[in-house]
Homo-oligomer: A and B are copies of this chain.
Amino acid sequence: MTTRTRRTERRQEPLSRERIVGAAVDLLDTVGESGLTFRALAERLETGPGAIYWHVTGKAELLAAATEAVVVPAVAADDTDRTPQEAIRTLALGVFDAFDAHPWVGAQFSRATWRPTLLRVFERIGRQVQALGVPEPAQFTAASALMNYIVGVAGQNAATTRAVAPGTNRADFLDATAHAWSALDPGEFAFARGVAGRLREHDDRTEFAAGVDLIVAGITGGT
């Protein structure tokens, strides 16, 4: 859209919404939510905090843009040559993996800021629900149930990921959790104690996908 001046080597690209959002995602990924500060952002962009406000209205919009930047590509798969079931599964896993890779997204999805992105997810799910042959009156409900499951559970999983200290490896974490559960009060937490051993062998992603399949099966009337 704009002409780029390439005459001399620029010390620095001019500030732009795109660069700001990119730096924000970077900061969120590396330092976490508490790391996203207008001052820290300004430092990375080699400018003052005030400059950012020329391109972005405030922190809420910045978080919304960062969320959209991460979720929309994850959800934009090519669905030709796929059955609706496969397309839904792919989309669901795309959301799951995006939340897993950028756990801070999970905390955004309970804010108003998240709604435009959510609408895009809803649209894509809805189209596949149509393709499944769900009758029109039931389509809205079916798409809502699927979307809520996908976003809700992916968010829950991201919260777990976020709870783990960044350096920890996954097996160690599950071991520690299993150990902690085994030490719980036997009266109050009989069930959790009993299943603690299962923690190690279970895979959240696989179970998430199985849940999606279950709902799809329910929507299309069994089998």
Residues of A within 8 A of B (CB): 106-107, 109-112, 114-115, 119, 122-123, 126-127, 130, 137, 139-141, 143-145, 148-149, 151-153, 155-159, 162-163, 188-192, 194-195, 198-199, 202, 207-208, 210-211, 214-215, 217-218, 222
Contacts and interface: CB of A to CB of B under 8 A. Distances in A.
A5 to B, nearest CB: 34
A151 B156 CA distance: 8
Nearest to A151: B156
Nearest to A165: B112
Contact of A145 (B109, B140, B159, B207): B207
A109 B155 CA distance: 9
Given A144-B202, A144-B207, A207-B144, A110 B191 contact: no
A133 B191 CA distance: 14
A contacts with B: majority SS = helix
Nearest to A192: B123
Contact of A114 (B114, B152, B159): B159
A199 B119 CA distance: 14
B139 A195 contact: yes
Copies of the protein in its oligomer: 2
Contacts of A157: 148
Given A111-B162, A149-B211, 11 more contacts: A107-B107, A110-B162, A126-B191, A144-B202, A148-B153, A148-B208, A149-B149, A149-B152, A151-B156, A152-B155, A155-B156
A143 B211 contact: no
B110 A155 contact: yes
Given A119-B189, A188-B123, A140 B195 contact: yes
A149 B153 contact: yes
A212 B204 CA distance: 19
Contacts of A144: 202, 207
Contacts of A210: 141, 145
A198 B214 CA distance: 24
A134 B153 CA distance: 22
